Amino acid sequence: QVTLKESGPALVKPTQTLTVTCTVSGFSLSTSEMRVSWIRQPPGKALEWLARIDWDDDKFYSTSLKTRLTISKDTSKNQVVLSMTNMDPVDTATYYCAARIDSGWYDYWGQGTLVTVSS
């Protein structure tokens, strides 16, 4: 059974760096064709894709946020980590991770973690 769980701070201050972690189970981060993405959703707004990391360590970033984002994975811990620098109140959102574990487009989502940016 594939599951994903996001974790991270509930509150960060402006200008700080956010680090959120996605812990997966039911598959390996080294499995061929595996891809994990981060998506966020500000309160009352639409979904926004942020970044993706593949089984072969290929990485993709949102063009509007790429200067602030870093995605990485720790296969031994079954974790994918997203860092976002210089946080601002407009970055307040629920952050989700989602995974595809084969070459198709069926994906699995975590429950999300709400991050509030406030001083």
Instruction: Using the minimum distance from each CB to other proteins, give the nearer residue, 63 or 76.
Output: 63
Among 8, 19, 21, 48, contact with other proteins (rule: CB under 8 A): 48
Q: Is 96 in the site for other proteins (CB under 8 A)?
A: yes
Q: How far from 41 is each of 34, 89, 103, 112, 114, CA to CA, in Å?
A: 23, 13, 26, 9, 9
| Nearest alpha-carbon partner for 109 in 96, 119, 92, 93 | 96
Among 10, 76, 106, 119, contact with other proteins (rule: CB under 8 A): 106
Instruction: Using the minimum distance from each CB to other proteins, give the nearer residue, 58 or 119.
Output: 58
Which residues, numbered 54-93, are part of the site for other proteins (CB under 8 A)?
A: 60-63
Q: Is 112 in the site for other proteins (CB under 8 A)?
A: yes
Contacts of 79 (CB under 8 A, 6+ apart): 21, 22, 23, 24, 29, 73
Minimum CB–partner distance for residue 69 and other proteins (Å): 11
- Burial of 118 by CB count in 10 Å (0-12 exposed, 13-18 middle, 19+ buried)? exposed
Q: What tokens does 57 get?
A: 């360590």
Q: Is 8 in the site for other proteins (CB under 8 A)?
A: no
Minimum CB–partner distance for residue 33 and other proteins (Å): 14
